[in-house]
């Protein structure tokens, strides 16, 4: 079947494209990009005023299935992903049971294929049961399609275990993604240590609790040669460590979330809004500014959501009892456009690198570019669409976004996965 | 006097005038408490719920006596028999209470921010009787009353707060309250018992040297070493704590002749205070603080519920 996208503003830094053109897709692949294209038979769409970019990838999401379907499941999570403009996500292994074997990888892949709204790349755990003690069967998981390994949600506590993980993973050409949190130092920390912890009277989660493990894991990367990806980096000094590692030539990459870029600890007021309880915690304005600088200059490789859905009743409680995490799939693109692209801090090309190109490279999945022969994973964006984030506008099962009420500009209108629409004019294609 | 507060949750929402209104009203209730029959009909027909979600004897008793002396209908609700033990959420518990058509909730909870959440959910008047490590505003007001009663004027007083500042809800309200009243505040503690940012609370000076700070102070506020609230051990032994931070008889010569000693109770004798200092007839106002708790809590309930002059004199 053929698809012709007419008059779109096509942007892809991989091929140096930034112009108005038509895209012809046949059998799931891009056939031609050029002016005044025609086809004999198929679906034609006029995308004048819209931007088309390589399909966006969110390389850090929690789909919660299996085990926590009350929060989210693969069907609702991938619909939310499509609604947010993503053609692929990478899901974290902290489900119940933990994705620490080929069985788990196959389960998630088969559910995702059945739902068919978004590609789902699976990250397996580094250690069995996320316990940080015994290596998980990485080789078997790779054989069944796992793209990366992480003990996200907890982190590998022992340096010796992390060394084993990275030594072992190095043979598979897969990245080890690190949730950096020293449990002994962080303890029961609730909010950033400093002004917020003092003002709110809660235990602090110090920046150093993250930075110590970033430094440690960079050292183990040097020791083992295994590629390291620092997850949800939240502090200025943490980013400095990553910059230094990159300058040294180590295979180190990092990601940041929209909430660490665009919210700070100051947002947590006397109402103790549990939607703002995230891990790592919202940091200072100086940290957020440093992360934005890294997004602008290239020190940050990827923007991810760490989409962490929770039920209404789990979050409607005492702050100290609430679980960590906020959703993000359906707001990330608009937040990036509103806060970074529209004000001219980054170009569209840079946004595409952060949300499509680099995530695929880090996960070692097939390159998607706007060029003939490439798979037709495409995201269509209306850069002018003005909208307000509302709880009842989400397709995720959860509403625990820290951005409810935010007035944003830009959103995905259409999403194509292998040439098939998953989102059309803002609505999921059933 | 314009007192327009519905709740007493965050002391920083109160101005110096508001605080003086509470203290001056408490003086009028002192007169009631000196009578043979220590009860007035001021809050007759008003229902007050004492929702104590963590163990408390002193604060709850103080509130109960204050409520009875104001003729309020009071209900004790909470403890190990209720809500959380049975898995009910805080919001559901509060909504259940509200269905009883109550007027005021006095809340003690081990989690920060709970009084505000209850206020948002309930529509009732809320008094924070201590939330986690966050605030304890009624303690701060009774402390101010006790100091004011002796010193006359709070502005310009040099107050030292000694001990576990970082895990203390008392400090979360006391230090801001002292600043609102124009005091100069020094916090004195081992670094392991300091909050990350004492300046955020309002502390003017931070020191680890009790002996250097003592000669300057008009008021020495000793905090209880709350062993049950400390994760890990922030000092090597009670003996060493007493050596470095205890207000001992040997330290008395360092104090100003008229310097007062306060403590929120209960005292650990031999740890933060020795008996000589705790019982010091000229300096210690510790039992006056307990009495001030009744007076100021009566004043707070009366003012928050829109008390009139009539109610006071009836």
Q: What is the pLDDT along chain A (430 residues), one digit of tens a residue?
A: 799 999 999 999 999 999 999 999 999 999 999 999 999 999 999 999 999 999 999 999 999 999 999 999 999 999 999 999 999 999 999 999 999 999 999 999 999 999 999 999 999 999 999 999 999 999 999 999 999 999 999 999 999 999 999 999 999 999 999 999 999 999 999 999 999 999 999 999 999 999 999 999 999 999 999 999 999 999 999 999 999 999 999 999 999 999 999 999 999 999 999 999 999 999 999 999 999 999 999 999 999 999 999 999 999 999 999 999 999 999 999 999 999 999 999 999 999 999 999 999 999 999 999 999 999 999 999 999 999 999 999 999 999 999 999 999 999 999 999 999 999 999 999 9
CB B122 within 8 A of CB B101: no
**B85 contact A CB<8A:** no
Nearest to A209 by CA among A227, A229, A198, A193: A193
**A197 contact B CB<8A:** yes
**B234 belongs to an annotated ligand binding site:** no
Tell whether B2 is covered by a domain: no
Strands of A125-251 (E only): list them.
148-150, 175-178, 191-192, 204-205, 228-230
Tell whether B6 is covered by a domain: no
A116 and A183 both lie in a single domain: yes
Please report residues of B whose CB lies closer than 8 A to that of A188. Answer: 231
Tokens 């609790």 belong to A209
Nearest residue of chain A to residue B134 (CA atoms): A201
Residue A306, by phi and psi: left (phi above 0), alpha (psi -120 to 50) or beta? left
B251 and B177 both lie in a single domain: yes
Q: At what angle do helices A74-83 and A102-115 cross, to 10 degrees?
A: 60
A21 and A119 both lie in a single domain: no
CATH number at residue B122: 3.40.50.1370
Tell whether B30 is covered by a domain: yes
Please report residues of A whose CB lies closer than 8 A to that of B111. Answer: 318-321
CA distance A415 to A376: 10
CB B191 within 8 A of CB B208: yes
Question: What pLDDT, on a 0 to 100 scale, did the predictor assign at position B236?
Answer: 84
CA distance A151 to B232: 26
Please report residues of B whose CB lies closer than 8 A to that of A193. Answer: 196
B209 and B258 both lie in a single domain: yes
B142 and B283 both lie in a single domain: yes
DSSP state of B82: S
Question: What pLDDT, on a 0 to 100 scale, did the predictor assign at position A170?
Answer: 96
A43 and A65 both lie in a single domain: no
Q: What is the mean pLDDT of chain B?
A: 92
B116 and B155 both lie in a single domain: no
Tell whether B174 is covered by a domain: yes
Nearest to A396 by CA among A302, A338, A332: A332
Q: Provide the number of structural domains found in chain A.
A: 2
Contact flag B112-A204 (C-beta cutoff 8 Å): no
Tell whether A388 is covered by a domain: no
Residue A269's CB is within 10 A of a number of other CB atoms, namely 12
B248 and B278 both lie in a single domain: yes
**A320 contact B CB<8A:** yes
pLDDT over 90 percentage in chain B: 84
Question: What pLDDT, on a 0 to 100 scale, did the predictor assign at position A1?
Answer: 78
Please report residues of A whose CB lies closer than 8 A to that of B10. Answer: 270
- Cis amide bond preceding A66, omega within 30: yes
B144 and B246 both lie in a single domain: yes
Question: What pLDDT, on a 0 to 100 scale, did the predictor assign at position B1?
Answer: 56
Question: What pLDDT, on a 0 to 100 scale, did the predictor assign at position B85?
Answer: 64
A41 and A66 both lie in a single domain: no
Tell whether B80 is covered by a domain: yes
Tell whether A168 is covered by a domain: yes
CA distance A5 to A380: 10
Contact flag A201-B131 (C-beta cutoff 8 Å): yes
Nearest residue of chain A to residue B167 (CA atoms): A201
CATH number at residue A187: 3.20.20.140
Identify the helix (H) or strand (E) that includes residue A427.
Answer: strand A427-428
Question: Which of B9, B115, B132, B175 should one mutate to test binding to chain A, selecting the residue with the greatest count of A CBs within 10 A?
Answer: B132
Contact flag A272-B10 (C-beta cutoff 8 Å): no
Tell whether A278 is covered by a domain: yes
B112 and B189 both lie in a single domain: no
Tell whether A137 is covered by a domain: yes
Strands of A35-85 (E only): list them.
43-46, 51-54, 56-61
Q: Which member of A206, A271, A319 has the closest CB to residue B111?
A: A319
CB A194 within 8 A of CB B196: yes
Please report residues of B whose CB lies closer than 8 A to that of A317. Answer: 89-91
CA distance A86 to B266: 59
- Token pair, residue B12, equals 């920083």
CB B304 within 8 A of CB B127: yes
Phi, psi of A76 (to 5 degrees): -70, -35
Alpha carbons within 13 A on the beta-carbon side of B80? 1
Tell whether A396 is covered by a domain: no
Tell whether B233 is covered by a domain: yes
A321 and A221 both lie in a single domain: yes
A27 and A68 both lie in a single domain: no
Phi, psi of B113 (to 5 degrees): 90, -5
Nearest residue of chain B to residue A186 (CA atoms): B231
CA distance B62 to B290: 8
A154 contacts: CB under 8 Å, gap ≥ 6: A94, A130, A132, A179, A181, A183
Q: Which member of B10, B112, B116 has the closest CB to residue A202?
A: B112
Nearest residue of chain B to residue A272 (CA atoms): B113
**pLDDT > 50? residue B314:** no
Tell whether A387 is covered by a domain: no
B143 and B283 both lie in a single domain: yes
**B118 contact A CB<8A:** no
B232 Cα to chain A: minimum distance (Å)? 10
**B297 belongs to an annotated ligand binding site:** no
**pLDDT > 80? residue B4:** yes
B129 Cα to chain A: minimum distance (Å)? 15
Strands of chain B (E only): list them.
47-52, 73-78, 104-109, 125-131, 158-162, 184-188, 205-207, 219-222, 260-262
A43 and A59 both lie in a single domain: no
B255 and B307 both lie in a single domain: no
DSSP state of A341: I
**pLDDT > 60? residue B231:** no
Nearest residue of chain B to residue A204 (CA atoms): B196
**B197 contact A CB<8A:** yes
Residue B261 C-alpha from the chain's centroid: 15
Please report residues of A whose CB lies closer than 8 A to that of B109. Answer: 318
A416 and A342 both lie in a single domain: no
Residue range(s) defining the domain that contains residue B66: 11-135+291-313
Q: Provide the number of structural domains found in chain B.
A: 2
CA distance A196 to A283: 9
Tell whether B4 is covered by a domain: no
CA distance B46 to B271: 42
A133 and A27 both lie in a single domain: no
Tell whether A393 is covered by a domain: no
**pLDDT > 90? residue B310:** no
**A202 contact B CB<8A:** yes
What does each C-alpha distance from A179 to A125, A156, A172, A231, A309 come to in angstroms? 11, 8, 20, 5, 18
Please report residues of B whose CB lies closer than 8 A to that of A320. Answer: 111-112, 132
The mean-pLDDT minimum among A164-168, A367-371, B79-83, B306-310 falls in B79-83
Tell whether A104 is covered by a domain: yes
A207 and A104 both lie in a single domain: yes
CB A378 within 8 A of CB A305: no
A395 contacts: CB under 8 Å, gap ≥ 6: A76, A79, A80, A83, A330, A428
CB B187 within 8 A of CB B197: no
A46 and A81 both lie in a single domain: no
B130 and B145 both lie in a single domain: no
- Token pair, residue B131, equals 């939330």
Question: What pLDDT, on a 0 to 100 scale, did the predictor assign at position B83?
Answer: 57
SS3 content of chain A, % helix, strand, coil (to 5): 35, 25, 40
**B289 belongs to an annotated ligand binding site:** no
Q: Which member of B112, B120, B201 has the closest CB to residue A320?
A: B112
B175 and B257 both lie in a single domain: yes
Q: Which member of A194, A201, A204 has the closest CB to residue B172?
A: A201
CB A73 within 8 A of CB A413: no
Question: What pLDDT, on a 0 to 100 scale, did the predictor assign at position B79?
Answer: 58
B143 and B234 both lie in a single domain: yes
DSSP state of B269: B
A344 and A378 both lie in a single domain: no
Residue range(s) defining the domain that contains residue A162: 55-363
Question: Which of A271, A318, A321 should one mutate to test binding to chain B, selecting the residue with the greatest count of B CBs within 10 A?
Answer: A318
**Known catalytic residues of A?**
306
How would residue B86 be classed by pLDDT, with cut points 50, 70 and 90? confident
What does each C-alpha distance from A198 to A183, A190, A205, B131, B141 come to in angstroms? 20, 11, 11, 14, 20
Question: Which of B92, B197, B203 should one mutate to test binding to chain A, selecting the residue with the greatest count of A CBs within 10 A?
Answer: B197
CB A44 within 8 A of CB A24: no
Contact flag B135-A201 (C-beta cutoff 8 Å): yes
| CA angle (B239, B240, B246) in 5-degree steps | 80
CA distance A367 to B118: 52
DSSP state of A339: I
CB B40 within 8 A of CB B31: no
**B59 belongs to an annotated ligand binding site:** yes
**pLDDT > 60? residue B228:** no
Phi, psi of A123 (to 5 degrees): -100, 125
CA distance B202 to B182: 11
What does each C-alpha distance from A153 to A147, A228, B231 come to in angstroms? 18, 17, 22
Tell whether B3 is covered by a domain: no
Phi, psi of B136 (to 5 degrees): -155, 70
**pLDDT > 80? residue B222:** yes
């Amino acid at each position: 079947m053929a698809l012709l996208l007419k008059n779109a503003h096509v942007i892809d830094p991989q091929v140096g494209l930034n112009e108005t053109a038509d895209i012809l897709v046949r059998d799931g692949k891009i056939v031609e990009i050029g002016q005044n294209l025609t086809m004999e038979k198929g679906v034609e769409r006029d995308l004048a005023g819209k931007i088309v970019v390589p399909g966006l990838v969110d390389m850090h999401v929690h789909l919660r299935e299996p085990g926590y379907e009350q929060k989210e499941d693969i069907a609702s999570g991938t619909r939310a992903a499509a609604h947010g403009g993503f053609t692929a996500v990478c899901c974290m292994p902290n489900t119940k049971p933990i994705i620490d074997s080929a069985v788990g990888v196959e389960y998630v892949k088969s559910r995702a294929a059945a739902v068919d709204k978004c590609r789902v790349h699976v990250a397996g755990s580094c250690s069995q049961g996320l316990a940080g003690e015994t290596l998980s069967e990485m080789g078997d998981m790779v054989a069944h399609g796992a793209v990366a390994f992480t003990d996200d949600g907890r982190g590998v506590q022992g340096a010796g275990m992390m060394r084993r993980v990275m030594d072992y993973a190095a043979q598979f050409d897969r990245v080890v993604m690190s949730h950096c949190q020293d449990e002994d130092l962080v303890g029961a920390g609730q909010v950033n240590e400093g002004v917020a912890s003092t003002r709110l009277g809660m235990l602090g989660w110090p920046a150093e609790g993250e930075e110590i493990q970033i430094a440690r894991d960079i050292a183990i990367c040097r020791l083992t040669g295994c590629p390291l990806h620092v997850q949800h980096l939240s502090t200025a000094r943490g980013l400095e460590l990553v910059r230094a590692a990159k300058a040294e030539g180590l295979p180190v990459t990092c990601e940041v979330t929209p909430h660490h870029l665009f919210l700070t600890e100051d947002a947590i007021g006397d109402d103790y809004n549990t939607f703002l309880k995230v891990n790592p915690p919202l940091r200072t304005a100086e940290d957020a500014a440093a992360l934005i600088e890294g997004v602008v200059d290239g020190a940050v490789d990827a923007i991810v959501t760490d989409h962490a859905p929770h039920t209404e009743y789990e979050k409607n409680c005492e702050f100290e009892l609430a679980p960590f995490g906020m959703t993000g799939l359906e707001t990330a693109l608009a937040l990036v456009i509103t806060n970074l692209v529209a004000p001219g801090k980054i170009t569209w090309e840079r946004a595409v690198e952060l949300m499509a190109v680099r995530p695929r490279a880090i996960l070692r999945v097939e390159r998607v570019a706007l060029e003939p022969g490439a798979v037709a994973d495409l995201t269509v964006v209306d850069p002018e669409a003005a909208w307000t984030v509302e709880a009842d506008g989400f397709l995720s099962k959860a509403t625990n976004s820290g951005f409810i009420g935010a007035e944003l500009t830009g959103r995905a209108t259409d999403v194509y996965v292998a040439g098939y629409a998953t989102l059309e004019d803002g609505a999921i294609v059933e | 006097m314009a007192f327009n507060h519905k709740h007493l949750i965050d002391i920083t929402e109160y101005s110096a005038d508001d605080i003086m209104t509470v203290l001056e009203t408490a003086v009028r209730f002192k007169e009631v408490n000196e009578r043979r029959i220590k009860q007035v009909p001021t809050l007759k027909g008003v229902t007050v719920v004492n929702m104590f979600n963590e163990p408390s004897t002193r604060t709850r008793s103080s509130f109960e006596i204050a409520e009875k002396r104001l003729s309020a209908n009071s209900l004790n609700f909470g403890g190990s028999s209720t809500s959380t033990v049975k898995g009910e959420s805080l919001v559901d518990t509060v909504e259940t209470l509200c269905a009883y058509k109550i007027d005021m909730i006095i809340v003690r909870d081990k989690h920060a921010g709970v009084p505000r959440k209850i206020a948002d959910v309930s529509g009732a008047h809320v008094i924070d009787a201590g939330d986690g490590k966050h605030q304890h505003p009624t303690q701060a007001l009774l402390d101010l009353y006790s100091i004011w009663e002796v010193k006359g004027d709070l502005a310009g007083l040099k107050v030292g707060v000694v001990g576990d500042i970082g895990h203390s809800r008392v400090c979360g309200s006391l230090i801001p309250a002292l600043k609102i009243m124009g005091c100069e505040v020094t916090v004195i503690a081992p670094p392991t018992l300091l909050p990350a940012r004492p300046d955020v609370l309002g502390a003017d000076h931070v020191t680890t040297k009790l002996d250097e700070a003592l000669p300057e102070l008009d008021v020495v506020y000793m905090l209880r070493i709350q062993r049950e609230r400390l994760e890990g051990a922030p000092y090597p032994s009670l003996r060493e704590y007493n050596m470095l931070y205890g207000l001992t008889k040997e330290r008395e010569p360092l104090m100003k002749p008229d310097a007062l000693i306060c403590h929120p109770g209960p005292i650990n004798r031999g740890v933060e205070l020795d008996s000589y200092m705790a019982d010091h007839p000229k300096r210690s106002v510790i039992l006056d603080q307990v009495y001030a708790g009744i007076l100021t809590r009566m004043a707070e309930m009366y003012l928050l519920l829109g008390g009139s002059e009539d109610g006071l004199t009836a």
